[in-house]
Structures are given as structure tokens and as C-alpha cells.
Structure 1
């Protein structure tokens, strides 16, 4: 079953928050959309699923965790995160495994955009957070997370992009990023690996991503 973008109808700035149903219903990121917990509840009810097994955050920038408390309060689900958080139940680090829906994903630490950033690499899906996206207004068909704000590093982000490529199985055929559109190989001309390689090449130019960077 395809991940559901529960923030798709947001009229505020938010990340893509993904509800992944299956054997182990999981929410990847919570976003900032007021009422997202209600959207999640409706989707779970429609699927005949009783609650969430866990919430995983790719990193703790506000656009990814603004509604986290509301979600945790509503579903009483354990929180999995890399960095410390008052409500964290399980710490995730490089090489750890976590069940997301019907798929076991490997955690890859991917700092640069955020110190605590992680990506989740499965056999078929990549949940990439903000480190690599498909389109974001700066680039189409392969872009990378911004690194122009305090505490961010382009060089570290480039290393993280290579870490994802090193960990990526050839069987991965879809990418679910924190912003922009999801990318599925069946919908486009490229493999997921090719999209990430293009994003990496663009990042390695060391040119400003945005005019005011």
C-alpha cells in the first residue's frame, strides 16, 4: 500500500508527513498542519487499523515536528528519533533498523541540513527527509537540502548524499522526501539512484542553491 501524505491539503508551510500502513502502521514526520491528527485518524479508520505502532522523525526542524505533540497525544504512539526529545521512546542511530509499514528500513545518519537528520532506507522505498528531494523550486528531478542557515553545512550534506547512495539497494524504486513530490520509477524516466546522483552532482558544484544563499 502506498504511503499516504497526510499533510497534502495543508495551507500552512509544512513538510510531507507520511502515514505508512501495513504490518506496522508508522508515521514518518508529523508536519505543522493543524488537525493532522484527525486526518491520520480518518485514514486509519478507513483502513480498519487500530492506532499507530510508532512515529519516526527524520529531524526536528519545526516544519517536521510542529504537530508532533498533538499526534503523540492522540495516538499514544512511541516516538523514534535520532536527537534527544522530551518524548522520545527509542533512539535511532546509524545502522539501526526500524519497521515502517511492511518494510524494515535501515537508518542512515545524514547530517548537513540538520545535525540530527536521518534517512530510512528500505528494500523498495527511501524516506529521505530533507537531505535529498525530487523537486523543490530550486531544481527539478533531483535536488538537495538547503545549507545556508546557521548550523548547516554543504560539505557535510554532500557526505550524507554519498552515504545514502552507498546504502541504497538497487531494488529501491520510490523516494518519499520531506518536501516536493514523491518520486516513483514507474512515473518517470530515472531510477531513484539516478535522481540522487543528479542531486549530488548539483550539490558538489558548491554554488548557492538559492539566489540569496
Structure 2
């Protein structure tokens, strides 16, 4: 069964997180969410060891686990998702371990999805110049380092970016299907229907 890691932080956009999570689970993907702390301050709320991510519209979400680079790498998951929401995206983009995580997934030929302002992580991770998109509010921070496009979804090798929740949710409408891994690994359909991700048969070697 393919697996996906979705990052979440205080200020993450609720729709981009929850719809993506739901879509992948419905498609047969094992999904884990990991809380990325703002290094400049403490988590918004805790109950014992439980962290509550306070999202951009005030929704509280309890992540599955805390973000730990040693347990979140491409050996553990096939897909990394970085949702938007201005504050949450900034927290993730500035976190050195998230930057390293993005580079590791790309280097290992694993899929990375960035939604809305989540595309800022492509810059902070110092990915090579390539096509991408983002929410218009962060275009000015990306267009000098990437081949910026206004398309709803942009696919560049293993990096898939979208402009916002209407286009994103790992619905990723710009690509009918994206491989997760190679040589016998599963494939997941990242298709036009934002409410569904279909699990395909194992890719033939």
C-alpha cells in the first residue's frame, strides 16, 4: 500500500489539509500527518503530549505525530504533501528540517506536492529552477527563482504544485496519474475529481 506524509502547522489552510488527507485515504493510501512547530514560539495548544494545530480559520486539528526528520523520510513514505495557509506555509518553509526533507524526497525520486503558499518550500529548499505555481500572494517570492506559471496545477518531474484549494487537494488536476515509486511500486491516480484518488494496479517493472 502506498503511503503519504502530510505536514501541518499552526496557520495551515484547513481545506487544503483535510481534503487532501481524505482524498488520499479514499484512494487506498496510508496517510500520516505530522505537526511542524514554529521554531520561534511554542505550539498553540497542548494537552499533555497532544499538540493541536490551530489552522488558518480557527479549526483545531490533532496531528497523528510530531514532525521528526528521522521518521518522516522517503524510506518511510512515497509522497510528501505541504499544504498552504500563509502562516503555516511560512513555518514549514523556514524550518531547516523541512527544507532537508523536501530535498531528500526529490533526490530519492519520490513525489512532492505543494499547495498554495506551500510552494515557498521549493525556494527555501533550494530546488533547481523549474516550472511551478502557487497562490498569487507569494508569486513575487518565487518568480525570480523558478519558471513561474499561472496554471491551476503545474507538474515538473516529481514536483507538483497548485494555486489553491480549488485546484489542489492532491486532486492535482494537471496530471491524470503520477507514479509513486518505480519498478513494481504502486501508482496513485491524481485526477480531475477533487474528492477521489484511485489506487492503480502495481506498475509493471
What band does the TM-score fall into relative to the shorter chain?
0.3 to 0.5
Greater relative CO (CA pairs within 8 A, separation 6+): 2
TM-score, normalising length: structure 2: 0.33
TM-score, normalising length: structure 1: 0.33
